[in-house]
């Protein structure tokens, strides 16, 4: 038996418990902060030693209820003294939790990482490249700017959330993300993760500016993939080339962290995209140009195809004007969006009848009562910040050692 071997003792008043944890003979998921939410103490005022390997999947162990919605499904992971990252002098992105070697005093951390389900106090940023705006979120704040305003973005703009030198990692999206299938370090991404800039969607340049500023900043960053034929989803969804753009992965992660490993979430705003997560993995999604319309965008119908063939507009222009705002009187628009979103959710319930159903996006609150009535089941509503907040979670988990998110590999 060997203890943690801390050079700099951590006192009980430094500890904040966050999450539902199970403890068996040793310390489990504990974050270190300079405040105390729950009074905790030990006989000597120090963290207890690790006396054996800890496996958090062991049944019938003592549970501690603390401040959190849920804990992700634990895996067979253990804690050894030689793997523990302890208090010393380096940023979290420079030392991995699984780096071999005994504890030492030359690595400064502000938290202990014992398992992927932790709460940490470093600052991580999520950037949602949305259809009409870019949203930036962190654990201490958030802001959004139009894609046109993003043309003037600089890395110092992130100081609206926290000091830039305190940022430990960033997760960001760019366009369709169809040239990568893993959550990939920004230095490894070619062509900003795109096969081509051509395709469905408006090209402004703000997202390009943000991506390039993050890339050259030196701050550790990962790029989120979209879902497409190269993704590890159900092959039946690959009848179409694309299933969703990258920010929807952030939405799915935020919702699954809140509701569980089996969820259906429809993101409804300028367009509508609906996803299925089963057993904590993305199964597939209906992309914006496949079925349900949003306020601006939708699938191409016969009339649109005729206009394209006649040279009256491009396919991209037709897509951008296929939403309910261009085809229906105002009093019918939200009812129609609700009906189609409910139909996509109902279709995915065929693949997982017990999944929780959620709505996200700027129209979620508006259509929720109608969707609930049509489905005959409860619907949980998330707001327009769901994607960026989910990306914060992804950044935090990836840079703290998690190797898979919703079935998507991590490539650092």
Residues 121-142: pLDDT tens digits? 469 999 998 777 899 999 889 9
| Confidence bin at 201 (pLDDT 50/70/90) | low
Predicted local distance difference test score (pLDDT) of residue 199: 62
Work out the average pLDDT over 78-95. 42
User: Residues 392, 124: contact at Cβ < 8 Å?
Assistant: yes
Cα 187 to Cα 68, 171, 217, 250, distances in angstroms: 34, 13, 11, 20
SS3 content of the chain, % helix, strand, coil (to 5): 30, 20, 50
Work out the average pLDDT over 329-349. 97
Predicted local distance difference test score (pLDDT) of residue 38: 43
Neighbouring C-beta atoms of residue 101, cutoff 10 Å: 10
Predicted local distance difference test score (pLDDT) of residue 95: 46
User: Residues 16, 39: contact at Cβ < 8 Å?
Assistant: no
Predicted local distance difference test score (pLDDT) of residue 229: 94
Locus of tokens 């209820």:
65
Predicted local distance difference test score (pLDDT) of residue 200: 56
Locus of tokens 């992309």:
287
Strand-pairing partners, residue 360, are 267
Work out the average pLDDT over 220-231. 95
pLDDT of residue 267 exceeding 60, the answer is yes
DSSP 15: E
User: Residues 325, 269: contact at Cβ < 8 Å?
Assistant: no
Domains observed in the chain: 1-121 (no CATH), 123-411 (3.30.420.60)
pLDDT of residue 384 exceeding 80, the answer is yes
pLDDT of residue 329 exceeding 50, the answer is yes
pLDDT of residue 164 exceeding 80, the answer is yes
Q: Which range has highest mean pLDDT (76-90, 177-191, 203-217)? A: 177-191
Residues 276-326: pLDDT tens digits? 999 999 999 999 999 999 999 999 999 999 999 999 999 999 999 999 999
Predicted local distance difference test score (pLDDT) of residue 147: 84
The residue count of the chain comes to 412
Predicted local distance difference test score (pLDDT) of residue 129: 86
Cα 179 to Cα 45, 152, 175, 197, 277, distances in angstroms: 51, 26, 11, 11, 22
Predicted local distance difference test score (pLDDT) of residue 310: 97
Least confident span in 85-99, 223-237, 376-390: 85-99
Q: Where are the beta strands (DSSP E) in 176-262?
A: 183-185, 221-223, 227-228, 242-244
Pick the closest to residue 150 from 127, 184, 178 (CA basis). 127
pLDDT of residue 343 exceeding 60, the answer is yes
């Amino acid at each position: 038996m060997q203890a943690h071997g801390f050079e700099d003792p951590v006192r009980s008043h430094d500890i904040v418990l966050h999450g539902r944890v199970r403890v068996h003979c040793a310390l489990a998921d504990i974050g270190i902060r300079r405040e105390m939410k729950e009074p905790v103490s030990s006989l000597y005022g120090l963290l207890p030693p690790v006396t054996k390997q800890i496996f958090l999947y062991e049944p019938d162990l003592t549970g501690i209820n603390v401040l959190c919605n849920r804990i992700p499904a634990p895996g067979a992971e253990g804690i050894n003294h030689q793997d523990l990252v302890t208090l010393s002098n380096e940023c979290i992105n420079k030392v991995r939790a699984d780096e071999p070697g005994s504890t030492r005093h030359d690595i400064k951390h502000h938290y202990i990482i014992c398992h992927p389900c932790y709460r940490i106090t470093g600052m991580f940023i999520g950037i949602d490249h949305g259809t009409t705006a870019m949203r930036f979120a962190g654990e201490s704040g958030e802001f959004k700017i139009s894609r046109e305003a993003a043309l003037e973005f600089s890395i110092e703009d992130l100081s609206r959330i926290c000091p830039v030198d305190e940022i430990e990692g960033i997760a960001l999206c760019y366009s369709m993300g169809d040239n990568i299938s893993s959550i990939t370090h920004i230095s490894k991404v070619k062509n900003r993760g795109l096969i081509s800039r051509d395709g469905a969607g408006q090209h402004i340049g703000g997202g390009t500016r943000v991506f390039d500023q993050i890339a050259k900043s030196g701050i550790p960053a990962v790029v989120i993939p979209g879902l497409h034929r190269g993704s590890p989803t159900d092959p039946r969804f690959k009848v179409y080339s694309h299933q969703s753009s990258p920010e929807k992965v952030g939405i799915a992660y935020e919702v699954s962290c809140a509701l569980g490993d089996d969820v259906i979430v429809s993101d409804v705003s300028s367009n509508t995209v609906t996803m299925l997560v089963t057993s904590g993995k993305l199964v597939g999604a209906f992309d914006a140009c496949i079925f349900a319309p949003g306020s601006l965008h939708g699938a191409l119908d016969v009339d649109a195809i005729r206009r394209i063939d006649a040279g009256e507009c491009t396919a991209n222009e037709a897509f951008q004007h296929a939403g309910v705002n261009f085809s229906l009187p105002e009093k019918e628009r939200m009812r129609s969006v609700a009906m189609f979103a409910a139909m996509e959710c109902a279709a995915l319930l065929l693949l997982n009848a017990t999944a929780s159903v959620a709505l996200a996006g700027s129209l979620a609150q508006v259509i929720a009562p109608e969707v609930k009535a049509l489905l005959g089941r409860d619907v949980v509503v998330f707001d327009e910040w769901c994607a960026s907040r989910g990306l914060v979670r992804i950044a935090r988990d990836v840079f703290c050692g998690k190797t898979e998110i919703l079935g998507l590999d991590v490539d650092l």
